[in-house]
């Protein structure tokens, strides 16, 4: 695998992208399609809103579990020593746990059973994500924007791969989960085994004594890193409010039938994905060349917010398609350049994986809390406009938080 100091070759990027594609596919396909289908209650005496609320609670439970598991696994991997590397064992363990949990959720019934299995999926993917994200800080210096673009574009492609295969092949819920489990087991494991995992650098070679909770959370007291995390969490909640309950919006906001809603959801996802992928790759390259990340991060959050406001005030399928494109442009740029910015701002060299676990969690928690918040807003008014409006406001606020970062970006790499 071609490598020079701080740089990697095309084969590294292919494996890295495929690993993330598998992780995102198994996280987002249940969130967007399978869990809402499992918990939908159109004939329930309490009405369809109870299904929306149950979905939000299940996804939020997974988010909380991921918040705990991601940074903890990252911290442990920072101190792991052995012939198999320090990131690889955790990546493999996380993939194994998520795979088993996906099989379990395929046969689960009711909010409690589905929720318990989803917590297992969330913990597994959080552990594996912490390990894979740490590779950016471990091995790259001048290609962090490009690697971050691979992560964010894989996120968008993962929705298309998962939802597209299930809808077009009419797989059903159980078969859909089993296909996701097999995909993660094969592709995720291959990435974990084949990506290089170099020895720990000198600054982290000496194992530390037992540390207090305050010492473990020291990164959260770093001014710039804390503001970056706060903005990232807020923008991701805004994005989730704009995308997380789209199936319910099509069913009960635009009054589509079940088959029509699934087809329209797939179309929206395709539009969203196209713009996420293009935006993330272009913005990641620009940020690597110029070294300017904060301006792109703020501008992209504003674009995302405008898209949600558009749906709030003009709720139709046509405007939702336009909004999906704008959401893709904004979120793709935000996630690729935002992750690179987070990597630049890591405060402690010996704790890269732990602190990148916080960066991952700020995004995944936002994506999983969004549906819970959205469900509450939908239940409050019996409709969807408030959910989209709040999503836009939070996107604007998250972009503004990034302006509080004092430290500007590294020198341009000119690659």
pLDDT at 298 over 80: yes
Helix segments in 169-210, DSSP class H: 173-183, 189-194
Of 309, 346, 315, residue with least CA distance to 327: 309
| Residue 3: strand, helix, or coil | strand
Structure tokens at 347: 């405060």
pLDDT given for residue 206 in this prediction: 43
- Percent of the chain predicted with pLDDT > 90: 32
CATH number at residue 345: 1.20.1250.20
Contacts of 404 (CB under 8 A, 6+ apart): 223, 227
What range does the domain containing 358 cover? 3-198+219-402
Q: Is residue 73 part of a domain?
A: yes
DSSP class per residue in 333-361: HHHHHHHHHHHHT---GGGHHHHHHHHHH
% of the chain with per-residue pLDDT over 70: 86
- Better-scored residue on pLDDT, 112 or 202: 112
213 assigned to some structural domain: no
Please, what sign has the CA dihedral across residues 269, 270, 275, 276? Answer: positive
CB neighbours of residue 226 within 10 Å: 18
The confidence score (pLDDT) of residue 363 equals 81
The model's confidence at residue 47, banded by pLDDT at 50, 70 and 90, is: low
Contacts of 37 (CB under 8 A, 6+ apart): 173, 247
Residue 214: inside a domain: no
pLDDT at 26: 92
Contact yes or no for 118/35 (Cβ under 8 A): yes
> What is the Cα–Cα distance from 286 to 330, expressed in whole angstroms?
15
48-61 burial string, b = 16+ CB within 10 Å, else e? bbbbbbbbbbbbbb
Model confidence pLDDT, tens digit, residues 330-361: 998 998 888 888 888 877 766 666 777 778 77
Mean pLDDT in the chain?
Answer: 82
CA 142, CA 149: separation in Å to the nearest integer? 13
Identify whether 290 is part of a domain.
yes
Mean pLDDT for the stretch of residues 276-280 = 88
pLDDT, residue 48, reads 63
Dump pLDDT digits (tens) for 67-93. 788 888 887 887 777 677 788 999 999
Q: Count structural domains, the chain.
A: 1
Q: Looking at the domain assignment, is residue 409 inside a domain?
A: no
By DSSP bridging, strand 3-4 and strand 7-8 are antiparallel
**For residues 353 and 403, which has the higher predicted lDDT (pLDDT)?**
403
Residue 163 in domain? yes
Query: Residue 316: left if φ>0, alpha if ψ -120 to 50, beta else—which one?
Result: beta
More confident residue, 87 or 183: 183
pLDDT tier at 326, thresholds 50, 70, 90: very high
Distance, in Å, from the CA atom of 54 to the CA atom of 44, rounded to the nearest integer, reads: 13
């Amino acid at each position: 695998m071609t490598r020079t100091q701080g740089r990697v070759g095309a084969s590294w990027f292919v494996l890295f992208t495929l690993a993330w594609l598998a992780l995102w596919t198994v996280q987002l396909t249940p969130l967007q399609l399978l869990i809402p289908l499992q918990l939908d209650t159109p004939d329930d005496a309490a009405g369809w809103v109870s299904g929306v609320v149950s979905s939000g609670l299940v996804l939020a439970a997974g988010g909380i579990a991921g918040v705990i598991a991601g940074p903890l696994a990252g911290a442990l991997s920072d101190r792991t020593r052995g012939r198999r590397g320090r990131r690889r064992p955790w990546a493999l363990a996380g993939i194994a746990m998520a795979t088993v949990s996906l099989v379990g959720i395929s046969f689960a019934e009711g909010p409690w059973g589905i929720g318990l299995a989803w917590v297992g999926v969330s913990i597994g993917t959080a552990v594996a994500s912490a390990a894979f994200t740490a590779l950016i800080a471990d091995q790259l210096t001048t290609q962090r924007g490009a690697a971050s673009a691979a992560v964010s574009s894989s996120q968008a492609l993962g929705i298309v791969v998962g939802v597209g295969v299930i809808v077009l092949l009419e797989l059903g819920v159980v078969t859909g989960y089993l296909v996701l489990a097999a995909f993660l087991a094969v592709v995720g494991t291959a990435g974990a085994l084949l990506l290089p995992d170099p020895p720990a650098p000198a600054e982290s070679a000496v194992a530390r004594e037992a540390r207090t909770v305050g010492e473990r959370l020291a990164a959260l007291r770093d001014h710039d890193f804390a503001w970056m995390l706060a903005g990232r969490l807020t923008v991701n909640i805004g994005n989730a409010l704009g995308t997380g309950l789209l199936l319910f919006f099509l069913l009960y906001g635009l009054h589509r039938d079940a088959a029509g809603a699934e087809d329209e959801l797939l179309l929206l996802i395709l539009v969203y994905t196209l713009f996420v992928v293009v935006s993330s790759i272009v913005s990641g390259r620009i940020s690597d060349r110029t070294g300017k990340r904060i301006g792109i991060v703020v501008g992209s959050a504003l674009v995302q917010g405008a898209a949600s406001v558009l749906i709030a005030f003009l709720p139709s399928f046509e405007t939702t398609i336009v909004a999906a494109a704008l959401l893709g442009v904004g979120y793709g740029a935000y996630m690729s350049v935002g992750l690179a910015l987070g990597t630049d701002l890591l405060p402690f060299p010996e704790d890269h994986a732990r602190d990148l676990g916080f960066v991952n969690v700020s995004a995944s928690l936002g994506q999983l809390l969004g549906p819970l918040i959205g469900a509450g807003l939908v239940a409050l008014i019996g409709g969807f406009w408030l959910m989209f409006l709040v999503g836009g406001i939070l996107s604007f606020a998250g972009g503004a938080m990034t302006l509080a970062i004092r430290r500007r970006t590294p020198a341009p790499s000119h690659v």
